[in-house]
C-alpha cells in the first residue's frame, strides 16, 4: 500500500481542514502536550431530546470548538432534567411553540435538529429564518422537493445547512474513501454494505415505524449509511437502481413501513453496490472488491468500535467520539467564517434522497430505475 502522509491523506480524500484538526483532537487524552484551545466556541442548541440527542449531548465533553448552549423540546420534564444535567440556562430553553423566539437569542449560533424525519423540514426553515445555522440529522427530509426547499431557504437566509454525517469524520471511513477513490487496489468492482437490527413492538409504537413520522422503514433510518458508503468510497453518483422489498415477518410491527429492503446501485465505472437495510436481522458490514485486492469493515457503519482489514493486512485507527468529531469539524469551519465543504452540506443530503426515492420506486415497480 502506498505510504501517504497524514496531510496528503486528508487532502486526497477531500476532507476539510476542520476535520483534520478534529482527528488530532480525538487523541488529546493520549497526548497531554497538546495545546488547549481557548478561543470562541460555536453555541449549539439541540432540537429534539430523544435517544440520539442524548449521545450528542454527552459528546460535547470531547468537543473542542462547540458547546451545548440550548435545548428545544416538547416535554417540560425533559427541559428541567437536561437543563440541570448539562448546565443549560433556562433562558436558552424553548419548546416547539415558542421556538421562533430563538431569533432574539445571541447566545445560540446553530440549531442541531434531531427530530423525527417529518419535522426536519419545518424546523430547518424556522431555524434558518431565525438566522441560525443548521445541522439536520439524516435522512434530510421526506422527499427531494423538501430537501430542495430547505437548501433554498437556508441560502436566502444566509445561514449554512449541514448534514449529521458523523462517518465523514471517522478515521476508518476516511481510509475506506481513500482506498476506493485513490484506487489503491485498482478499480473497485463490487461493494456490499448493509445495516440492520432487530426491533420489537412497543407501546406507543416507535416513531420510526410510523410512516407519517419516518417516511419509511429501515431504508430511511439505516439505508442512508449504506448509500453514503457506496457513494463516497467510489467517488461516483449511481446511475440506476433495482430493488426488492423483503418478506414481512411481523405484520403488526411493520404495518406501515417496510421490514427490510435490498437494492443494487449501478455506477458509471461499472461498479455495483448491493445493500440491505433491515429491522428483522442484525447486520453491520462493509466489503469492497477491487481489481488487485479488497478492503472491509465489520462492524462497519454503526457507532463502532470499527474493525477492518485489507488484502494486505489489518486496519488500525483510533476509536474516536464520532459525534464530537463531526460537530467539531462543522463548527471549526463556521467559526473560521468559511463555507462548509460540499460533502457535509444539504446538497449531500439531497443526493441521498434522490437515491432513496429511486430505490423505493424500483422496489414498488420491479423495474430498473434511472437515478
Q: Give the CATH number of the domain where residue 38 resides.
A: 3.40.50.720
| Structural domain includes residue 329 | no
Rounded to an integer, the average pLDDT of 86-108 is 98
* Structural domains counted in the chain: 2
Q: Which residue is it, cell 410491527? A: 253
pLDDT-derived band at 203, boundaries 50, 70, 90: low
Specify if 332 maps to a domain: no
Give 17's pLDDT tier (boundaries 50, 70, 90): very low
pLDDT-derived band at 145, boundaries 50, 70, 90:
very high
pTM: 0.90
Q: Give a yes or no: residue 327 inside a domain.
A: no
Distance (Å) of CA 322 to CA 224, 301, 318: 17, 11, 11
Q: Which CATH number covers residue 176?
A: 3.30.360.10
Q: Tell me if residue 197 is catalytic.
A: no
What distances in angstroms separate CA 294 from CA 188, 288, 300, 328, 341, one per listed residue? 8, 6, 15, 32, 29
The string of pLDDT tens digits covering residues 304-331 is 999 999 999 999 999 999 999 999 999 9
Catalytic residue among 41, 132, 138, 351: 138
Cβ-Cβ contacts under 8 Å for 277 (sequence gap 6 or more): 194, 195, 196, 217, 218, 219, 221, 222, 223, 226, 260, 261
145, 166, 187 — which closes off a domain? 166
Active site residue 225: yes
H or E stretch covering 54: helix 51-59
**Domain span at residue 84?**
6-166
Boundary (domain end) residue, out of 128, 149, 166: 166
Q: Please, are residues 354 and 361 in contact by the beta-carbon 8 Å criterion? A: no
Catalytic residue among 94, 112, 172, 225: 225
Name the grid cell of 207. Answer: 416513531
Amino acid at each position: 500500500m502506498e505510504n501517504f502522509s497524514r496531510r496528503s491523506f486528508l487532502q486526497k480524500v477531500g476532507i476539510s481542514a476542520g476535520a483534520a484538526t478534529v482527528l488530532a483532537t480525538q487523541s488529546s487524552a493520549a497526548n497531554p502536550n497538546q495545546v488547549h484551545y481557548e478561543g470562541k466556541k460555536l453555541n449549539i442548541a439541540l432540537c429534539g431530546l430523544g435517544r440520539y440527542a442524548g449521545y450528542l449531548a454527552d459528546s460535547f465533553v470531547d468537543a473542542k470548538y462547540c458547546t451545548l448552549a440550548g435545548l428545544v423540546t416538547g416535554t417540560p420534564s425533559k427541559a428541567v432534567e437536561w437543563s440541570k444535567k448539562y448546565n443549560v440556562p433556562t433562558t436558552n430553553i424553548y419548546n416547539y411553540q415558542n421556538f421562533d423566539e430563538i431569533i432574539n437569542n445571541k447566545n445560540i449560533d446553530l440549531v442541531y435538529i434531531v427530530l423525527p424525519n417529518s419535522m426536519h423540514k419545518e424546523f430547518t426553515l424556522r431555524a434558518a429564518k431565525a438566522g441560525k445555522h443548521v445541522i439536520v440529522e439524516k435522512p434530510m427530509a421526506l422527499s427531494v422537493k423538501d430537501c430542495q426547499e430547505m437548501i433554498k431557504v437556508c441560502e436566502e437566509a444566509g445561514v449554512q445547512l449541514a448534514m449529521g454525517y458523523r462517518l465523514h469524520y471517522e478515521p476508518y471511513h476516511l481510509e475506506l474513501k481513500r482506498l476506493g477513490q485513490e484506487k489503491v487496489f485498482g478499480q473497485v468492482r463490487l461493494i456490499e454494505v448493509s445495516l440492520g437490527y432487530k426491533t420489537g413492538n412497543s407501546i406507543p409504537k416507535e416513531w420510526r415505524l410510523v410512516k407519517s413520522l419516518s417516511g419509511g422503514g429501515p431504508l430511511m433510518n439505516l439505508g442512508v449509511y449504506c448509500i453514503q458508503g457506496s457513494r463516497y468510497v467510489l467517488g461516483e453518483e449511481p446511475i440506476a437502481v433495482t430493488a426488492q422489498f423483503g418478506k414481512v415477518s411481523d405484520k403488526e410491527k411493520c404495518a406501515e413501513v417496510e421490514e427490510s429492503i435490498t437494492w443494487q446501485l449501478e455506477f458509471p465505472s461499472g461498479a455495483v453496490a448491493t445493500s440491505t437495510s433491515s429491522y428483522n436481522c442484525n447486520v453491520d458490514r462493509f466489503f469492497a472488491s477491487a481489481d488487485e485486492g479488497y478492503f472491509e469493515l465489520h462492524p462497519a457503519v454503526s457507532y463502532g468500535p470499527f474493525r477492518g482489514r485489507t488484502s494486505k493486512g489489518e486496519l488500525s485507527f483510533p476509536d474516536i467520539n464520532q459525534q464530537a468529531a463531526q460537530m467539531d469539524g462543522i463548527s471549526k469551519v463556521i467559526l473560521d467564517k468559511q463555507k462548509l465543504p460540499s460533502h457535509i452540506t444539504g446538497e449531500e443530503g439531497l443526493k441521498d434522497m434522490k437515491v432513496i426515492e429511486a430505490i423505493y420506486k424500483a422496489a414498488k415497480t420491479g423495474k430498473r430505475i434511472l437515478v
